[in-house]
Chains A and B, each alone.
Chain A
């Protein structure tokens, strides 16, 4: 009997150990699954800019990571926020409260990104914004759990504004979308133009979603400025470019600078209209063998070559998973600490670093769109003009307006 007893004691302690161990494991990964949400515009003006293709990019990142982290499955959810901050907040709240989503990414449109980042700070959840432009995300409205990947208005202003002035485009006229994003883009770019010895001759503010830009283009033409800067986005930029091409703006010696324009929009516009445009992006598929291979895989999934938003979202998902792995848990504070600490080294960014305010710093590039005759085929669109080192492209923490000292309270 004694031997029997000993055996049952061993069995019992094993069972107890197992039951004790189970809750301990559950604390490591909440709900036994790491759940990532991609929240972006899937049907509106930015649907090609990010949209469903970004969801494909996120899926690729999860597959490349191996499909599991800390032995737990990784799950992906996505939703269309229709560029409305209230809809986005409701979805985010539902994801956090009901579906136990651990982190939300992409967040196209500045108003949406600011709203969801604010909400996530309250809820103690991580956001990695790749689709929105405003520097506010890592400025006055920064969050200890909020990260900003891919680009921001400052990087675009430095890339396009600074580099063009150095190349001789020293007088500027702005076509500006009449809302916060347009103003801040115009102001920041204008500052760079002036800092480099250039001059801003004037600007005209057009309402959001204007169909016909010819009268604005005409005003830009009569300004006599060497560079016409388009401080707008999406369809507005496309329609400006079409009107400019039609009214012979570039032929009459003026240069066009798109402040927010990516490969997806160039593709939509066609090289006939888009040729000669200067723009800043953080990634181009034809830069290296690694990029080409990635773009080819991506194209099989999404039918398009990726722009910096798509690859940015890939990188954000991958980096988040690496941080979870390194932290040994999906608990927010531990993962956020790892995200701040780990270098970003993937197909998207080389030697990327994350600042204390959540800004991911990496090199940006100034591109010029090729003329149709120089393009060797579909998607062969860019000539690389200049590299903008990350340290120049992005604001340092002390100038960002972010009060990182307040993070300690969280």
Chain B
């Protein structure tokens, strides 16, 4: 059997594919963070909690409403986006004038409250969520057994990432949005409702996190702490990609997923820190991140 550094090639392909799957989650989550930071300049620490709430909404819909995965894929992000919009309007928007630190502290506190609430009512061990029956089973690719659902996650996240990128970079709505963050007074003078735009942006970012949460529910346990475990890595991904760079967030999300997958084969003990090592190296070499513009 062909080997690379003592690892059989088929096993390596398997690990690369798994890296890509994990990268899909990193990309989706860091995308939302990058959108919020790029356009609102808010470091959204509640992102992990919004991801968790997305998964929980899907779980609650199934448990109490018998509403399945496909509807949850639409309803959960909408619910989280709506709640986040209300929070942005009533609370977060008051902090825009202040230092970034206040937004960070506010969203961090929000995350703690949300996680605490869900832990209180649903326990720390988490709740099960089944894969949609349409995607049950798996396909034998020769070098590995790929669960159909995981394949679906890769495709879905790629589609969403490209759609969001196109929305912000290629449409006139996106152009207005970017202009509004560049110079809010001027854009407002053109008759654009800037606060509404910002609210929608925050809702979009939160909705993306919730979407990732619904996608994650069948793979991981629906658990109040599921966001906390992921959010730190996702922050590192955003920093590596360049704070606020949407392309950077997507590309480095997939890239780091794959790199992490490879680490798990060659030196599994380091798989939790490899992302941070790369972050440190990137910050030393390019302080603005791989795709960031120097300020």
Contact = CB atoms under 8 A, between A and B. Distances in A.
A23 interface: no
A215 interface: yes
A268 B8 CA distance: 36
Contacts of A49: 125
Contact of A209 (B14, B229, B265): B229
Contacts of B269: 178, 205, 207
A211 B219 CA distance: 10
Contacts of A246: 131, 138, 147, 149-150, 219
A218 B221 contact: no
B271 A206 contact: yes
B264 interface: yes
A205 B268 contact: yes
Interface stretch (B15-23, B99-107, B242-250): B15-23
Contacts, number: 108
Interface stretch (A160-168, A234-242, A356-364): A234-242
B11 interface: yes
A207 B271 contact: yes
B265 A219 contact: yes
B130 A268 contact: no
Interface residues of B, number: 40
Interface string A35-60: 00000000111111101000000000
A47 B271 contact: no
Given A218-B11, A242-B221, A268-B221, A211 B230 contact: yes
A115 interface: no
A201 interface: no
Contacts of A371: none
Interface size classification for chain A: 35 or more
Contact of B128 (A178, A205, A247, A268): A268
Contacts of B119: 43, 47
B261 interface: yes
A73 interface: no
Contacts of A252: 145
Closest 10 CB pairs of A and B: A268-B125, A270-B128, A207-B272, A47-B124, A48-B125, A215-B264, A246-B147, A214-B18, A215-B18, A48-B123
Interface of B: 8, 11, 14-15, 18-19, 21-22, 116, 119, 123-128, 130-131, 138, 144-145, 147, 149-150, 219-221, 223, 225-226, 229-230, 261, 264-265, 268-269, 271-273
10 contacts: A45-B124, A46-B124, A47-B123, A178-B269, A218-B14, A239-B221, A248-B138, A252-B145, A267-B125, A268-B128
